[in-house]
Amino acid sequence: MVICSESQEDEMKRKKLVHIAQEIMSSEKVFVDVLKLLHIDFRDAVAKATRQNGKPVVDERILSQILYYLPQLYQLNRDLQRELEDRVAHWSDHQRLSDIFVQKGPYLKMYSTYIRQFDNNVALLDEQCRKNTAFATVVKEFEMSPRCASLALKHYLLKPVQRIPQYQLLLTDYLKNLPEDSEDYKDTQAALGIVKEVANHANDIMKQGDNFQKLMQIQYSLNGHHEIVQPGRVFLKEGTLMKLSRKVMQPRVFFLFNDALMYTTPVQSGQYKLNSVLSLAGMKVSKPSQEAYQNELNIESVERSFILSASSATERDEWLEAIAKAIDDYTKKKITFISSRSQEEAECVVDTGAPLGSKAPIWIPDLRATMCMICTCEFTLTWRRHHCRACGRVVCQACSANKYYLEYLKNQPARVCDHCFVKLQENSDRCASTSVSPIKPGAFSFTRKQKKIPAALKEVSANTENSSMSGYLNRSKGNKKQWKRLWFVIKNKVLYTYAASEDVAALESQPLLGFFLREEKNGPAQKLQFKLYHKNTLFYIFKADDIPTAQRWIEAFQEAMILEQ
């Protein structure tokens, strides 16, 4: 262990002070060059394009607003750079620099003005690039030039926002290594106080200092040009959830903001492909009624609706709560801007709170329906599934031969089921706002001989509400060891069996009075199983996915087997 003498420590601190002073000066030189790039070089690029085009590529008033307060900051920091360079050059004669910051203190408050308008100015830049192709070309060419080092213009516009925190870090480090008897000590304390005040004021203006950085980080992580930074937008939550498509679960990274829900596809380390940005306006979030889908949540929005699955029920509930709160806050904020509906419009609104066809429905996944949800015909390789674009149900071609103009699809015609077609026609007659476009089958006859299903099997659907218990179980008949995974529902002391969780007719039904259960408790695997008997005859063996689920099923079976007095 090396022990330094007091004189050695003082010498180390003196060297450190020189190093920090040089760093303050050199970083100021780099920063002034950034301000020159924005205030002078970019303006020159715009002026050159104006001369070549023979007319302004952008209104001077708009350009000045985008570069708001940069001329003043450029002048201030160029003077600051000169004075710092002079002090460092003559450091051996006069070891002092904080008095410069004290003198410039009142002018540093100009940063607050720049930061106050930053979000709006960046949004204005994006808007002009979107609307004005000539200006967008100038910006793109400038960004790709060696002067800009192929970095986005917004990357440089952010530098003044970051400069005040940098001053704070550098001056804090400078003060730590400064002897208390130094003539620069009190000035450094004063300078640090001024910089902290400006930094705190800047954070108050931006409300969340880290929030803007996060929005920029998200924007830079997306492939292509996307405007994630918006005035007033606040980042709330992010995470990976499984999005259920028609056939499979696909991982998607979700970002929740105070005005939108965005989901992306990971493409490489830290980079994402943007799939969609869904407005919270009119959005609904809910969890399925079936306990078997305890990790899932339903998202319904005007543009798209889908099912998501989290890694656990706890994570699902966290997302559910966060999205629901964001929707509620957004609605309260916008409520004063929403005009009241007329009575005639209100009559067209269905139970979901939106007219049928005005919002994208959640599609029932293919594997959760083995039969048409209208006529109960079983699907096969030739008798395929179709989705109603109005309600999302899985139907056959015979029950979805019509098309209808749907509002959420920008009034393009889309396949709808027979039930929705009738409702849409009725709504159209009442509201007199939509035209109907039936598509006739033509020469093809979409008919199929239906299997006769007893009425008792149609009384209760697989997704029925108010059941005692529902979910998937593996079942084996008698002593046979072949397992089959089926969906079961216990309702009104009757056990209903379905091929899938959204089927509208049961495969079989069995009243449970007179039956009894025997549990298997020999080992962990056996505890998942329980046996159903009738008069000492083994009917079925059931196997759950986990012990808690098995126990809930056992309790539901036992309750259904007792005749209430």
pLDDT tops 80 at residue 446: no
pLDDT tops 70 at residue 271: yes
Identify the band that residue 87 occupies on the pLDDT scale cut at 50, 70 and 90.
Answer: very high
Domains defined for the chain, CATH in brackets: 7-206 (1.20.900.10), 217-331 (2.30.29.30), 352-431 (3.30.40.10), 462-560 (2.30.29.30)
Q: Do 491 and 503 form a contact (C-beta atoms < 8 A)? A: no
Among the residue ranges 205-209, 226-230, 420-424, the one predicted with the least confidence is: 205-209
Among the residue ranges 232-241, 325-334, 388-397, the one predicted with the least confidence is: 325-334
Identify the band that residue 450 occupies on the pLDDT scale cut at 50, 70 and 90.
Answer: low
Relative to beta strand 260-268, strand 296-300 is unpaired
Among the residue ranges 211-215, 337-341, 474-478, the one predicted with the least confidence is: 337-341
Q: Which residues contact 338 (CB under 8 A, 6 or more apart)?
A: none
pLDDT tops 50 at residue 348: no
pLDDT recorded at residue 137: 95
Q: Which residues contact 344 (CB under 8 A, 6 or more apart)?
A: 430, 431
pLDDT recorded at residue 337: 38
pLDDT recorded at residue 284: 87
pLDDT tops 80 at residue 338: no
pLDDT recorded at residue 344: 39
Q: Which of 131, 269, 82, 104 is nearest to 198 (CA)?
A: 104
Q: What is the pLDDT of residues 498-509, one digit of tens each?
A: 998 889 899 999
Q: What is the pLDDT of residues 383-394, one digit of tens each?
A: 888 989 999 889
Mean pLDDT confidence for 74-87: 95
DSSP secondary structure string for all residues of 4-68: PPHHHHHHHHHHHHHHHHHHHHHHHHHHHHHHHIIIIIHHHHHHHHHHHHTS-SS-HHHHHHHTT
Identify the band that residue 440 occupies on the pLDDT scale cut at 50, 70 and 90.
Answer: very low
364: left (phi over 0), alpha (psi -120 to 50) or beta: beta
pLDDT recorded at residue 188: 94
Q: Do 68 and 114 form a contact (C-beta atoms < 8 A)? A: yes
Among the residue ranges 44-58, 118-132, 307-321, 424-438, the one predicted with the least confidence is: 424-438
Which residues is 377 bridged to in the sheet? Answer: none
pLDDT recorded at residue 364: 84
Torsion angle defined by CA atoms of residues 47, 49, 53 and 59, in that order, rounded to the nearest 10 degrees: -50
Cα(396)–Cα(2) distance, rounded to whole angstroms?
A: 84
Mean pLDDT confidence for 417-422: 90
Average pLDDT, the chain: 84
pLDDT recorded at residue 437: 46
Identify the band that residue 315 occupies on the pLDDT scale cut at 50, 70 and 90.
Answer: very high
pLDDT recorded at residue 61: 93
Task: Tell me which range, 203-212, 217-226, 450-459, is most confidently predicted by mean pLDDT.
Answer: 217-226
Q: Do 460 and 453 form a contact (C-beta atoms < 8 A)? A: no
pLDDT recorded at residue 101: 94
Q: Do 503 and 330 form a contact (C-beta atoms < 8 A)? A: no
Q: What is the pTM of this model?
A: 0.48
Among the residue ranges 11-25, 111-125, 340-354, the one predicted with the least confidence is: 340-354
Cα(305)–Cα(326) distance, rounded to whole angstroms?
A: 17
Crossing angle of helices 159-176 and 98-108, rounded to 10°: 150
pLDDT recorded at residue 240: 93
Mean pLDDT confidence for 280-287: 87
Mean pLDDT confidence for 400-422: 89
Q: Which residues contact 292 (CB under 8 A, 6 or more apart)?
A: 470, 471, 472, 487, 501
Q: Do 113 and 198 form a contact (C-beta atoms < 8 A)? A: no
Task: Tell me which range, 74-78, 158-162, 233-237, is most confidently predicted by mean pLDDT.
Answer: 74-78
Q: Which of 236, 360, 384 is nearest to 307 (CA)?
A: 360
Percent of the chain scoring above 70 in pLDDT: 88
Identify the band that residue 522 occupies on the pLDDT scale cut at 50, 70 and 90.
Answer: low
pLDDT recorded at residue 383: 85
pLDDT recorded at residue 60: 92
Identify the band that residue 330 occupies on the pLDDT scale cut at 50, 70 and 90.
Answer: confident
Cα(522)–Cα(265) distance, rounded to whole angstroms?
A: 46
Percent of the chain scoring above 90 in pLDDT: 38
pLDDT recorded at residue 431: 60
pLDDT tops 80 at residue 6: no
Identify the band that residue 352 occupies on the pLDDT scale cut at 50, 70 and 90.
Answer: very low
